[in-house]
Amino acid sequence: MIHVIAVITAKPGKREEILGHFRANVPAVKAEKGCIEYGATVDAEGMGSFQTKFGPDTFIVVEKWESTDALKAHAAAPHMAAYGAKTKELIASRVIHVLSPT
């Protein structure tokens, strides 16, 4: 299994617009062969001082894939290219971490 943590920071005030495009793309991603989990998350509220928040312009995509081949196919999927084109000008930064279980 492959885990992916993608940290997406929107240009100021654009997070909800990106999330709208993200949510519209989720059904296509979840239908992909090898997709186990795929969803967006934001900072939880009320966690106290031990939490380090990402902030109001950032969201995290948590993904699990059956294999590296499934993840590579996801990255090359036409619906991902379309999502990228729609959101390119809205994103300030994107950092993707691909992880293997120990």
Count structural domains, the chain.
1
Cα distance between residue 22 and residue 80, in whole Å: 10
CATH number of residue 31's parent domain: 3.30.70.100
pLDDT per residue as tens digits for the range 23-77: 999 999 999 999 999 999 999 999 999 999 999 999 999 999 999 999 999 999 9
Evaluate whether residue 48 is within a structural domain: no
Cα distance between residue 13 and residue 78, in whole Å: 27
Please tell me the predicted confidence (pLDDT) of residue 88. Answer: 97
Evaluate whether residue 49 is within a structural domain: no
What predicted TM-score, i.e. pTM, was given to this entire model? 0.93
Burial class (CB in 10 A: 0-12, 13-18, 19+), 98: middle
